[in-house]
């Protein structure tokens, strides 16, 4: 079954990404995690995301498009990236989520993917 592992990071985590003194450790942890997923044969895909201030949110109100700079909601944690993994069950997906670097400072959410649409 495929699961998406959503990585929610704190503002401090986003700052660490670009901090000259700390970014190597930050990115090194994600390289190691990605390598482990790949070597285990469970990684399907994924991507890191640019920081929340670069987001643009779109909503429809009365049929008209409304655009807002930044994420929709102010929150302590924002979506920083995701992995799509394929494992036999939720317990295995949760095991991988617990190994994600963000689990120590932010939140890692695991959701089962919907099956492909049959049309």
Tokens of 99: 């190994």
pLDDT tens for residues 53-106?
888 888 899 999 989 887 666 678 889 999 999 999 999 999 999 999 999 999
Find all residues with CB under 8 Å of 67, minimum gap 6, and list them. 56, 57, 58
Q: How far apart are CA 27 and CA 97, in angstroms?
A: 17
pLDDT band at 46 (very low <50, low <70, confident <90, very high): very high
Inter-helix orientation angle 23-39/11-18, to 10°: 100
Answering whether pTM is above 0.75, one says yes
- Is the CB of residue 80 less than 8 Å from the CB of residue 48? yes
For domain 2-112, which CATH number applies: 3.40.50.1220, 3.50.50.60, 3.30.70.1060, 3.30.70.1400? 3.30.70.1060
């Amino acid at each position: 079954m495929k699961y998406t592992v959503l990585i929610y990071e704190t503002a401090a985590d986003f700052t660490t990404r670009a901090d000259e003194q700390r970014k190597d450790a930050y990115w090194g942890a994600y390289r190691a995690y990605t390598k482990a997923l790949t070597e285990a044969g469970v990684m399907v895909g994924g991507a890191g995301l640019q920081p929340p201030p670069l987001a643009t949110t779109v909503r429809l109100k009365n049929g008209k498009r409304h655009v807002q700079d930044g994420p929709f909601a102010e929150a302590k944690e924002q979506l920083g990236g995701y992995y799509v993994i394929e494992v036999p069950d939720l317990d295995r997906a949760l095991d991988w989520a617990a190994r994600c670097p963000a689990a120590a400072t932010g939140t890692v959410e695991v959701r089962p993917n919907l099956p492909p649409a049959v049309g």
